[in-house]
C-alpha cells in the first residue's frame, strides 16, 4: 500500500477562526496515533495552505491521495478521526462531509491568476512556491531582460493598478525609471483600508512569495535597491507570514546583494501601519513611513518624481504586484487575453453581504454582476430580493438591482457612479436601508478625514449631520438638494482621493434610491425597516401565544404580559433593538 497522501488545511484568518489549527493538530495526532503513516505510506504529509476563497465553509480540508483530490467542508477536530479511518486508511471518502455541487459552481466561472496558488502552496515554505514555478519569472528577468523590456512587457499586458485608481502599472514604472537620481524606492501598499475588502490580506497570507517576487521585478525595472511593504497592523497573520517569506527569500539569494549572481542588489523592509485609512493615499503613506502624521500633500510632484525621502518612488498595491510574476512567465499577450479592451486581466473581489456564498473570488474583467451574484454567489440569502451592490468601499457607490447586467470593469462602474476600487463587493437586499448605508460610509470617511483640507474635514462632517437627521426622522424639505450641492463641492475642493470620493456613496444612493430618502424626510418612514427612530415594534395580539420568549430576550425589560396571555411592548422603554422580532416564532411582532 504505497500511497502518496497530502492533506491541505485552510489556514487563512478565516480558516483559523473556524479552528484550522485544531483540525491540523487533530490530523497530525490521528495519523501518528494509529501508526497510519507507517501503515499506508511514508509519503504522507499535512500542510497548511492559504485562503482558497470560500471562507464561509471553513475549515476546508483537501485530502489528496495519489493526485486525486477530495475536499471536505465545515470540518471540526472531532470529525478528523473518521476521515482518517475511512478515507485515508479505508480508501472511501466520507461522503456526508465532502463539498457538494455548490462548492464547484462557486469556482466554475472564476479564472485564477493571482489566486492560482492560494490554497495550494504552503505560505510558510518557499520550496512549495518554487515547485509551482515560483521565482521563475525573476530568473527570466535577471538572465536576459533589460529593465526597459520588463516595463514594456507590463505595459503591453495592460495591467492597471488594483488598489483603486486603475493607473497603468507599466506607465508608472516608466515614470520612475526615467526620473533622475541614483536612489529610488518601491513600496508595496498593503494598507488595505477599505472596509469590505480583504484580497490583499488573503494574497499575503496565502502566497507571500508572489508579492515579493513581483516587488523584486518592479525594483529591477525602476532601478530601486530598497523596498518597503507598508502593511496594516490589523493583519497579524499576514505580517508574520511575510516576515517568514522575506527571511527565506534572503537565504535563497532572491533578496540581498548580487541577486542570483546578476549584480542587482535589493532588499525589503516591513513597515507596520498604525491605523489610518488615509494612509492608503500615496503621499500620506510616504509621510507615515517617514514617521509623521499620515497627511497627503498636493501632487505634482508625483511620488515617481519625488517620493519617499524626496526620492523617486513607485507605490504598487499587493494584488498588482502579485500579477507581475505570471505576466512575465506567460507573456503579456497571455494576460491581455482576459478581460475587456481597456481593463485587462482578472480582478479579485471580496464578495460579501447578503449572498449565499461569501468569499474571495477572482474573475475576468468584464464579467457581469449577475454572474457574480447568482452563479458564483449562489443568489441572495433567504431567497430575499436583491436591492443593490456596493462596490469600491467608502469611495464607491451602490449599483441598483436593475443594472446588474453591466460588465464589471473600470469604465462601466465609473459610468454608474461607482468604482472598481480595491474590489469590495457588498451585496444588499431589501432589508438594507440605502440612506443608512450612505450614513455608514460618511461616518467612516468623516472619522478618517485627516483634517488637513477644509472641504473634506468640514464637508464630510456636514454631510454626516444631514444624513443623521434624515435617518433620525428630523429630515427637512430641501435636504436632498443640499446633500447633492455639498457633495459636489467636497468632490471638487478636496486635496486627495479620500475627500474627492467620499461623497460617492451619498450621490449614488440619491441617484438610484431618491424615493427612499423622500420616504425618510416626508413620511418619516424607513421602507427597509432599519432606521431605529423611524421604527416601532408592536405585538399583534391575535398571533401572540404568551410564550414569554420575547419578554425574556428583551434587554430593556420593555415587554409585559402574563404567561399564555398576549404580551405588550411598552413603547417608552423599548430601545428598538429588534431582539423580540427575531426571537418570536409566531410572527406576532410587527415592525414598521
Partner 1 sequence: MQETLQRILEEYRQNEGNLITILQSLEAAFGYIPEDAVNWFSEQLDIPPAKFFGVATFYAQFHLKPRGRNIITACCGTACHVKGAERIINSLTRELQIPSGEDTTEDKEFTVEKVNCVGACSIAPVVIINKEVHGKMTPERLMKELKRLKKGK
Site for partner 1 in 173-232 (CB under 8 A): 192-198, 200-202
Single residue of 203, 360, 510, 580 touching partner 1 by CB under 8 A: 360
86 or 234: whose CB is closer to partner 1? 234
Tally Cβ neighbours within 10 Å of residue 68.
9
Q: How far apart are CA 197 and CA 350, in angstroms?
A: 5
Tally Cβ neighbours within 10 Å of residue 155.
17
Q: How far apart are CA 546 and CA 548, in angstroms?
A: 5
Single residue of 65, 426, 506, 584 touching partner 1 by CB under 8 A: 426
CB of 195 to partner 1, least distance (A): 4
DSSP annotation of 160: B
> Which stretch in 95-103, 176-184, 441-449, 490-498 sits in contact with partner 1 by CB under 8 A?
441-449
Single residue of 555, 562, 585, 587 touching partner 1 by CB under 8 A: 555
Single residue of 319, 362, 432, 516 touching partner 1 by CB under 8 A: 432
Strands (E), 50-121: 61-65, 68-72
CB of 254 to partner 1, least distance (A): 23
Q: How far apart are CA 56 and CA 58, in angstroms?
A: 6
CB of 313 to partner 1, least distance (A): 17
Single residue of 71, 288, 343, 508 touching partner 1 by CB under 8 A: 288
Q: How far apart are CA 13 and CA 88, in angstroms?
A: 27
Q: How far apart are CA 511 and CA 206, in angstroms?
A: 39
382 in contact with partner 1 (CB under 8 A): no
| Lookup result for grid cell 512569495 | 209
501 in contact with partner 1 (CB under 8 A): no
Single residue of 354, 491, 520, 567 touching partner 1 by CB under 8 A: 354
DSSP annotation of 392: S
Spatial contact of 315 and 393, defined as CB atoms under 8 Å apart: no
550 in contact with partner 1 (CB under 8 A): no
CB of 116 to partner 1, least distance (A): 19
174 or 362: whose CB is closer to partner 1? 362
Q: How far apart are CA 191 and CA 318, in angstroms?
A: 9
* Residue count (the chain): 592
Q: Which residues, 6+ apart, have CB-to-CB distance to 510 below 8 Å?
A: 438, 480, 483, 484, 517
Single residue of 17, 333, 454, 492 touching partner 1 by CB under 8 A: 17
Q: Which helix (H) or strand (E) holds 445?
A: helix 434-448
Single residue of 5, 7, 16, 141 touching partner 1 by CB under 8 A: 16
CA 579 → CA 262, 552, 555, 574, distances in Å? Answer: 65, 10, 8, 11
Cross-strand pairs, 391: 397, 425
360 or 519: whose CB is closer to partner 1? 360
CB of 398 to partner 1, least distance (A): 11
> Which stretch in 88-96, 131-139, 176-184, 352-360 sits in contact with partner 1 by CB under 8 A?
352-360
Residue 453: alpha-carbon gap to chain centroid: 29
195 or 561: whose CB is closer to partner 1? 195
498 in contact with partner 1 (CB under 8 A): no
Three-state secondary structure of 459-515: HHHHHHHHHHHHHCCCCCCCHHHHHHHHHHHHHHHCCCHHHHHCCHHHHHHHHHHHH
440 or 586: whose CB is closer to partner 1? 440
| Lookup result for grid cell 432606521 | 531
Cross-strand pairs, 13: none
94 or 197: whose CB is closer to partner 1? 197
Single residue of 74, 175, 403, 440 touching partner 1 by CB under 8 A: 440
18 or 519: whose CB is closer to partner 1? 18
C-alpha grid cell, residue 31: 495519523
Single residue of 161, 303, 312, 353 touching partner 1 by CB under 8 A: 353
Give the torsion through C-alpha atoms of 525, 392, 123, 53, to 10 deg.
Answer: 50
Site for partner 1 in 62-81 (CB under 8 A): none
Spatial contact of 176 and 314, defined as CB atoms under 8 Å apart: yes
Using CB under 8 A as the binding criterion, the count of chain residues that bind partner 1 stands at: 59
119 or 294: whose CB is closer to partner 1? 294
CB of 579 to partner 1, least distance (A): 8
CA 305 → CA 149, 177, 446, distances in Å? Answer: 21, 10, 31
122 or 200: whose CB is closer to partner 1? 200
277 in contact with partner 1 (CB under 8 A): yes
CB of 381 to partner 1, least distance (A): 10
236 in contact with partner 1 (CB under 8 A): yes
168 or 578: whose CB is closer to partner 1? 578
352 in contact with partner 1 (CB under 8 A): yes
Q: Which residues bind partner 1 (CB under 8 A)?
A: 13-14, 16-18, 54-56, 58, 192-198, 200-202, 233-236, 272-277, 288, 290-294, 350-354, 358-360, 390, 393, 424, 426, 428, 432, 437, 440-441, 444, 448, 450, 555, 577-579
Amino acid at each position: 500500500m504505497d500511497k502518496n497522501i497530502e492533506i491541505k488545511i485552510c489556514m487563512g484568518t478565516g480558516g483559523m477562526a473556524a479552528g484550522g489549527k485544531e483540525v491540523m493538530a487533530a490530523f497530525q495526532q490521528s495519523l501518528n496515533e494509529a501508526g497510519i503513516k507507517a501503515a499506508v505510506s511514508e509519503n504522507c504529509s499535512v500542510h497548511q495552505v492559504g485562503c482558497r476563497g470560500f471562507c464561509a465553509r471553513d475549515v476546508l480540508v483537501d485530502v489528496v491521495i495519489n493526485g486525486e483530490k477530495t475536499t471536505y467542508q465545515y470540518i471540526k477536530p472531532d470529525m478528523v478521526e473518521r476521515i482518517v479511518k475511512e478515507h485515508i486508511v479505508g480508501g472511501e471518502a466520507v461522503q456526508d462531509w465532502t463539498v457538494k455541487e455548490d462548492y464547484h459552481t462557486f469556482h466554475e466561472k472564476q479564472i485564477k491568476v493571482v489566486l492560482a496558488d492560494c490554497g495550494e502552496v504552503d505560505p510558510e515554505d518557499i520550496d512549495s512556491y518554487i515547485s509551482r514555478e515560483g521565482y521563475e519569472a525573476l530568473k527570466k528577468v535577471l538572465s536576459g531582460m533589460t529593465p526597459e523590456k520588463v516595463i514594456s512587457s507590463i505595459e503591453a499586458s495592460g495591467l492597471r493598478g488594483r488598489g483603486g485608481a486603475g493607473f497603468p502599472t507599466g506607465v508608472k514604472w516608466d515614470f520612475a525609471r526615467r526620473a533622475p537620481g541614483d536612489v529610488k524606492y518601491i513600496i508595496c501598499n498593503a494598507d488595505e483600508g477599505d472596509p469590505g475588502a480583504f484580497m490583499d490580506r488573503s494574497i499575503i497570507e496565502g502566497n507571500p512569495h508572489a508579492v515579493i517576487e513581483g516587488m523584486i521585478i518592479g525594483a529591477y525595472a525602476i532601478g530601486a535597491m530598497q523596498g518597503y511593504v507598508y502593511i496594516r497592523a490589523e493583519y497579524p497573520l499576514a505580517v508574520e507570514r511575510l516576515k517568514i517569506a522575506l527571511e527565506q527569500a534572503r537565504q535563497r539569494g532572491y533578496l540581498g546583494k548580487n541577486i542570483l549572481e546578476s549584480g542587482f542588489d535589493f532588499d525589503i523592509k516591513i513597515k507596520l501601519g498604525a491605523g489610518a485609512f488615509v494612509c492608503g493615499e500615496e503621499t500620506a503613506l510616504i509621510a507615515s513611513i517617514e514617521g509623521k502624521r499620515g497627511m497627503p500633500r498636493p501632487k505634482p510632484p508625483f511620488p515617481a518624481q519625488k517620493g519617499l525621502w524626496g526620492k523617486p518612488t513607485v507605490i504598487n498595491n499587493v494584488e498588482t504586484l502579485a500579477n507581475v510574476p505570471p505576466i512575465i512567465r506567460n507573456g503579456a499577450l497571455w494576460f491581455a487575453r482576459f478581460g475587456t479592451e481597456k481593463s485587462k486581466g482578472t480582478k479579485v473581489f471580496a464578495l460579501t453581504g447578503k449572498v449565499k456564498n461569501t468569499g474571495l473570488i477572482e474573475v475576468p474583467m468584464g464579467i457581469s454582476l449577475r454572474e457574480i451574484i447568482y452563479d458564483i454567489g449562489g443568489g441572495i440569502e433567504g431567497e430575499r430580493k436583491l436591492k443593490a451592490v456596493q462596490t469600491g468601499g467608502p469611495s464607491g457607490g451602490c449599483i441598483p438591482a436593475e443594472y446588474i447586467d453591466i460588465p464589471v470593469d473600470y469604465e462601466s462602474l465609473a459610468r454608474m457612479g461607482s468604482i472598481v476600487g480595491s474590489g469590495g463587493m457588498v451585496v444588499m437586499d431589501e432589508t438594507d436601508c440605502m440612506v443608512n448605508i450612505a450614513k455608514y460610509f460618511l461616518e467612516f470617511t468623516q472619522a478618517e478625514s485627516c483634517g488637513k483640507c477644509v472641504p473634506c474635514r468640514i464637508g464630510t462632517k456636514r454631510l454626516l449631520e444631514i444624513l443623521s437627521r434624515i435617518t433620525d426622522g428630523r429630515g427637512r424639505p430641501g435636504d436632498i438638494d443640499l446633500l447633492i450641492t455639498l457633495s459636489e463641492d467636497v468632490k471638487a475642493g478636496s486635496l486627495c482621493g479620500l475627500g474627492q470620493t467620499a461623497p460617492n456613496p451619498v450621490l449614488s444612493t440619491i441617484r438610484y434610491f431618491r424615493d427612499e430618502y423622500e420616504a425618510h424626510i416626508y413620511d418619516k418612514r424607513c421602507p427597509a425597516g432599519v432606521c431605529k427612530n423611524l421604527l416601532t415594534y408592536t405585538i399583534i395580539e391575535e398571533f401572540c401565544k404568551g410564550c414569554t420568549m420575547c419578554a425574556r430576550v428583551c434587554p430593556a425589560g420593555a415587554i409585559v404580559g402574563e404567561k399564555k396571555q398576549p404580551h405588550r411592548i411598552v413603547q417608552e422603554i423599548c430601545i428598538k433593538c429588534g431582539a423580540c422580532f427575531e426571537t418570536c416564532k409566531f410572527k406576532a411582532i410587527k415592525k414598521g
